[in-house]
Copies of this chain bind each other. A is one copy, B any other.
Amino acid sequence: MNIEERKTAPIGVFDSGVGGLTVAREIARQLPDENIIYFGDTARVPYGSKSQNTIIRFSEQIIRFLRTKQVKAIVIACNTASALALDAVRDEFDIPILGVVIPGARAAVEATRNKKIGVAGTDATVQSGMYTKVIHAMAPDVTVIEKACPLFVPLVEEGFKEHIVTQEVIEYYLESMRSTDIDAMILGCTHYPLLRSKIRDYMGDKIQIVNPAYETAMDLKKLLHEMDMANDGSDARHSRYSFYVSDAAEKFRKFANTVMPFDVPTTNVVNIEEY
């Protein structure tokens, strides 16, 4: 790739399913001249209950697929894959790869006044302890309280957002965290921002809610400029965004249309196990 080709090459963004669209949306907002190839692993969703070896293998396959689309950088929009696979795939592939954990941790460290941060995430993310490790590398004196909230994802996916049981499950998972004096809380799973207002109402307005998507898009912007890879937008395109999934393209497209601020075109199905 020459310099011009590199600038106009797309950003690869991937997630276990639809959740990472909240990250893609933020990248599209902050970097409107960039082209994005999104991949959602809908055939193997969710990742949050699976093992590190499996999540690394799935991430490797997806990165190999995204490379066939000549991406110039990759964003792992999934917190679980960021926590469990980022180090492994960074060692393996010679392309810039960003996760959401480091940007999310940094935002929380900047937000906390009393040095007490809460993290809500999937089983796999919380068991990895990655948020705590990354926060302690930035600020060793911060106390981190992590809590796995595995039912949040199915509640969002099954449309229970407004049902009373979602409120009860939020209370069940977050009661112990609310009884501490944390003043910043990371939504450490891409689905959780979709419950943001309910979580905020329950946790109270003394706690600053951190969504890693914003900081991740900021980090990506910085990286592209530093590496002289930013797209100046001169490559006029009909659409800057392409969507791929490993299963159930039409269901994905419908959901994507509720999340993205533009009309989501045809979604393509990829047999990801072949990569």
Question: Closest residue of chain B to A273, judged by CB?
Answer: B273
Q: Provided the pairs A151-B155, A151-B160 are in contact, do residues A43 and B49 lie with their beta carbons within 8 angstroms?
A: no
Residues in B neighbouring A44, C-beta threshold 8 A: 43-44
Q: How far does the alpha carbon of A45 sit from the alpha carbon of B154 in the complex, in Å?
A: 13
Residues in B neighbouring A247, C-beta threshold 8 A: 50-51, 53-54
Instruction: Answer yes or no: A158 CB below 8 A from chain B CBs.
Output: yes
Name the one of B150, B164, B168, B248 contacting A158, with C-beta atoms under 8 angstroms. B150
Residues in B neighbouring A155, C-beta threshold 8 A: 151
Instruction: Answer yes or no: A42 CB below 8 A from chain B CBs.
Output: yes
Instruction: Answer yes or no: A169 CB below 8 A from chain B CBs.
Output: yes
Instruction: Answer yes or no: A260 CB below 8 A from chain B CBs.
Output: no
Residues in B neighbouring A237, C-beta threshold 8 A: none
Residues in B neighbouring A50, C-beta threshold 8 A: 42-43, 247-248
Shortest CB-to-CB span from A84 to chain B, Å, is 12
Name the one of B157, B163, B169, B271 contacting A49, with C-beta atoms under 8 angstroms. B157
Instruction: Answer yes or no: A165 CB below 8 A from chain B CBs.
Output: yes
Q: How many copies does the complex hold?
A: 2
Contact between B150 and A154, CB atoms less than 8 A apart = yes
A140-164 vs B, CB cutoff 8 Å, 1 = contact: the mask equals 0000000000110011011010011
Residues in B neighbouring A57, C-beta threshold 8 A: 271
Instruction: Answer yes or no: A262 CB below 8 A from chain B CBs.
Output: no
Q: How far does the alpha carbon of A42 sit from the alpha carbon of B55 in the complex, in Å?
A: 12
Q: How far does the alpha carbon of A79 sit from the alpha carbon of B252 in the complex, in Å?
A: 23
Name the one of B158, B172, B271 contacting A151, with C-beta atoms under 8 angstroms. B158
Question: Closest residue of chain B to A160, judged by CB?
Answer: B151
Question: Closest residue of chain B to A157, judged by CB?
Answer: B49
Q: How far does the alpha carbon of A57 sit from the alpha carbon of B50 in the complex, in Å?
A: 20
Q: In the complex, given contacts A49-B157, A54-B246, A151-B154, what are 15 additional A-B residue pairs having Cβ atoms less than 8 angstroms apart?
A: A43-B44, A43-B50, A43-B54, A49-B248, A51-B248, A53-B247, A150-B154, A150-B157, A150-B158, A151-B160, A154-B154, A163-B172, A165-B168, A168-B168, A273-B273
Q: Which 3 A-B pairs have the closest CB atoms?
A: A154-B154, A165-B165, A273-B273
Q: List 27 A-B contacts (CB under 8 A).
A: A42-B50, A43-B44, A43-B50, A43-B54, A45-B49, A49-B157, A49-B248, A50-B247, A50-B248, A51-B247, A51-B248, A54-B246, A54-B247, A54-B248, A57-B271, A150-B154, A150-B157, A150-B158, A151-B154, A151-B155, A151-B158, A151-B160, A165-B165, A165-B168, A165-B169, A165-B172, A168-B168
